[in-house]
Structure 1
Amino acid sequence: MEARILTDEQEIIEAKKLAYEVLVKEQKWEIKPDNPSGLHIKDLPQGKVLWDDYDTVATRLGVFEENTLVGCLRICGRLNGKFELEHYHSLLDFIHKDELAVEITRIAVWKKYRFSMVILLLFRLTYESLLEKGGYAWGTGFWPNPGKLYVNKFGATRHEIPFRYYSDDPQEVYLYYINGYDRPYISKMISEFNLLLARKEKIRG
């Protein structure tokens, strides 16, 4: 398997298709028509994709098995001075003030690969980017699943106050963040990812 930053237009469309398949079709995301992110489903010749305003400032990471995209995530900076979350809820002050901060969204992995190396490869690549650029990386998610994974395996810190994107959302989410300014910690986590990946590779044999 190979993890890399997606630059080819067709690969980016495949990532948007995967996000649609996992987040909308499987996880039943409800997309409100008046949402402030411009989030919507778009019909392309290649199929249905998940699309929003933040695609214009997004960097996508993907994992491939041979030539097939099997997992992806999206890293976004600010658009018109705001992160996507800030259209729905206030952000922690120290992240809000961080000019290098990035928001991690749209994590999507095909079901058959969820206990494979894919998510480890995605997060190792994320940490390698943080080691190069610095800044806080953060995102939101449920607790305990997948939140415990983010904290226990991927080295994120959970902010203890949950919230909802919309008042009628059935479940609260938490904010998770990684301090990209702590370079020794980032390097340590990359080493841990390498060990975990080596073990999984050995098991695959």
Structure 2
Amino acid sequence: MKTKILVIDDEENIVELLQFNLETYDYIVDYSYDGFDGFLKAKEIKPNLILLDWMLPNISGIDVLKKIREDKELKSTPVIMLTAKNMESDKVEGLVVGADDYITKPFSVKELLARISSVLRRYSINTSREEEVLIVKDIKVDLIKHEVTKNGEKIDLTLKEFDLLKILLQNKGKVLSRNFLLDKIWGYEFYGETRTVDVHIRYLRKKIEEPNSNEKYIETIRGIGYKID
């Protein structure tokens, strides 16, 4: 089955360029010039990946991304942000909300195609039946249902928070560096912005750890990285 990619961008020349190159590589391409319409189209066609522009009319790309990550059917859909914004704070915001990758305009089509391939490859890795459920203390991570519970109560995590918790649990007892986590979860070296991991870990801790409790799930190894025992 061919891979479906939805392009949400208000620049017609960019859409035409992307459509031509993606279809050359045998992708099925649909598109929208508006954020609201793009979100509705995503719900209709359920693409395998979304290329999402930050600067859109009526609703920003970052707000569309938030809607995607909050939607039950779309929340696990990989999203690559396309934007002229190249400030570190903008990149961090996009990644924290749930972007899988980030490329600034003007961009190389070859680089974009490589990143699309990398993101799709990460999502295509099947979870083995032996690792359907991961457990630490009173927290259970169901990798098939993509669900996290604590004492039986569901915890809502963003896609990146879920991926962080999963990889830490799959490597229990090991110290994982920030660069390692960036490479495994975001799929490429995000040089100079390892604080992205720290921000996600902080949000994750708020959701899985009890306030004012001495019991910690994620241990910080200063100067090195993080681990779960």
TM-score, length-normalised on structure 1? 0.32
Bigger Rg over Cα = 2
Larger relative contact order, structure 1 or 2 (CA cutoff 8 Å, min sep 6): 1
Greater fraction of residues in strand: 1
